[in-house]
Chains A and B, each alone.
Chain A
Amino acid sequence: MTSTSVLDDLKKTQILELLEQGKRVDGRALDEAREIIVETNVVPHANGSARIRLGDTVVMCGVKIQPDRPFPDTGDKGLFICTAELLPLSHPTVETGPPQPPVIELARVVDRGIRESHMVDVTQLVIEKDKSVIGVFADNVVIDYDGNLFDACSYASTAALLSSKTPKWNWTDDAPVLAEGEDTDLPITTIPVSVTMGKIGNHIVVDPNGDEWDTMDARITITSDSDGNICALQKGGSDGFTQDEINQCGEISVRVGAKIREKLKEAQKGTQ
C-alpha cells in the first residue's frame, strides 16, 4: 500500500496503548484474524472465481484455464500463473499506471505461496508433451482496501482454484481440440493458507487492518500447506524481527492457518 495516506496520531497512540494491554482497537485478540466471507462463482463465465471479504478488504479472483505452449525446459508441465492488481477504486491513494514495487511484491508473494505448495499439480495439465499444455491463470483484483492484501489475495486465489472446473482438450491434427462436456476439477494436491503478521513495537498482530498496517514497523507473511508444513515466506517492512519472534510467527501461522483452511474447505463444499 502506498505510504502517502497519513494516519492520524490519535489513532496511532490509541493502537499502541491498547496493545500494551494486550488489546486491539476492533476487539480482536492479537492472534485473531478478521471475519472471512467467501463467495465462489461470482464470475460465472470464468472457469472459477471467488470474492473474499477480510473485514473491509475485498478481493476478487478469476481463474481462466486455456491451452498454451509449455515453457521450453518443462514440456511435461502445465502453466500456473497468479497475479494481483490494486484497482484504483479500492483506495484514494492508489494511482493508475504501471504497477509499483509494493504491488509487484504482492503479486509475486501470492503467486509463490500457491506455486511452492504445489497446490495445482501441473504434471496433470499436459495436452501433448512439449507442444501443448493447459495454462491456469489466477488473476486477483483488489476492490476495497483495509489492510492485509497478502492474505486476502491468497484466500481469493485458493477459493477460486478449489471451485474451478477445467475443460478437457485432446490433441487432434496438431492442435488442442476442446472436448465438450468433459469438465473436471483441477488436480489439487493441498490447500495453502497464508497468514500475515505485523510487528507493532514488540507486539505481533495477526491480519493487521488498514490502521494497523499504517502503524506497523515490519510484517511477515507465512504460507503453510494441508500437512502443516511451511512452504513460502516473505518478510517486509523497515524494522527487524528477533529470532524468537520469527519462530513465534511460524507457529502462529500454522495454527491460525489451519482454522482458515477449514473455512476455505467449507466454501468449496458450497455450504457458505
Chain B
Amino acid sequence: MDNKRKYVIPGDVVTTGPFRPEQNVILEGNKIISTTIGISEIYDDSVKVIPLTGKYIPKINDLVIGKVISHTSLSWELDINSCYVGFLPAQDVFGRDFSAHADELTSKLKSGDLVAARIANFDRTRDPLVTISDRDLGKIDSGDLVKISPSKVPRLIGKRGSMIQMIEMATNAAVTIGQNGWVVVSCETPEGLLKAKKAIEMINEKAHVANLTDQVKDMLEIKEDES
C-alpha cells in the first residue's frame, strides 16, 4: 500500500497539516482524524476515508433496492437499508390526480414488495424521498435478493462496470445493483443464478483482497481468451 493510503480505525490520525477534511474525517487542532474503519486517501489538498463498514447514507440520484414495509393512505414506507426509512408518496405512482378516497395504495404496492427506486431528495432533517417513476424503476417481479455491505458496492461494480459485466457475461444473469447494498439477481438457468450469487457473496467477503478479480474469474471458470 503506497504512502497516500493506509488502514485506519476511529481516532487514528491520518495526517497533520493544512489539508481539507472530506468524508469520514474530522479536524482536531492540526490533526486529521478518521471517524470510521476504512482506507484513508490523501489527495493534493484534501483527506478522506473510504469506509469498510456502515449503513447506506442516501445520496440524491442513487439507484436503490427498497422493500415496502408499511403504508398510510398517502404514501409507502420503504426499508432501504439505511438509518432512515424511504418515503414514497402516492402521487409518484398514481400521478397528480391521486385521490386518497378513490385510489387504494395496496393495489399498486403492498408490504413485502421489492422495488427499484431512485433517491429523489435527501437532507438529514427529513426522511429520504424516493421515486419509482422512471422506466428502469418500479416493482421487482422476479429474481433473488442478495444483501451485501454498501461499502462493497463499488467493488462489485468495478472500474467502469468491469466486474459486474464480467459476472453477467459469464453467468447470463441480469444483476440490478442498489447503491444501498441490496442486489437483485435473475437468471434463466439455476446454475447461472447460483454462480452469480456466489460471485457477489465472494466480493462482499473479500473486497479488500488484492487479487479478487482473479479469484472471481477462477470461480466463474472464465478462460483468459474470453475475458
Contacts and interface: CB of A to CB of B under 8 A. Distances in A.
Complex contact flag A–B (Cβ < 8 Å):
yes
B113 interface: yes
Contacts of A11: 145
Contacts, number: 24
A10 B114 contact: yes
A10 B79 contact: no
Interface in B52-75: 67-69
**Which interface class (under 10, 10 to 19, 20 to 34, 35 or more) fits A?**
under 10
A262 to B, nearest CB: 32
A7 interface: yes
A8 B112 contact: yes
Contacts of B68: 6
Interface stretch (B18-26, B136-144, B156-164): B136-144
Q: Which secondary structure characterizes the binding site on chain A?
A: helix
A189 interface: no
A11 B68 CA distance: 14
Contacts of A7: 112
A5 to B, nearest CB: 9
A14 interface: yes
Nearest to A14: B144
B111 interface: yes
A12 B144 CA distance: 11
A10 B114 CA distance: 8
A10 B111 CA distance: 12
A8 B144 contact: no
Interface in B198-220: none
21 contacts: A6-B67, A6-B68, A6-B69, A6-B79, A6-B111, A6-B112, A7-B112, A8-B67, A8-B112, A8-B113, A8-B145, A9-B113, A9-B114, A10-B114, A10-B140, A10-B142, A10-B143, A10-B145, A11-B145, A12-B112, A14-B144
Given A8-B112, A10-B140, A10-B144, 17 more contacts: A6-B68, A6-B69, A6-B79, A6-B111, A6-B112, A7-B112, A8-B114, A8-B145, A9-B112, A9-B114, A10-B114, A10-B142, A10-B143, A10-B145, A11-B145, A12-B112, A14-B144
Interface of B: 67-69, 79, 111-114, 140, 142-145
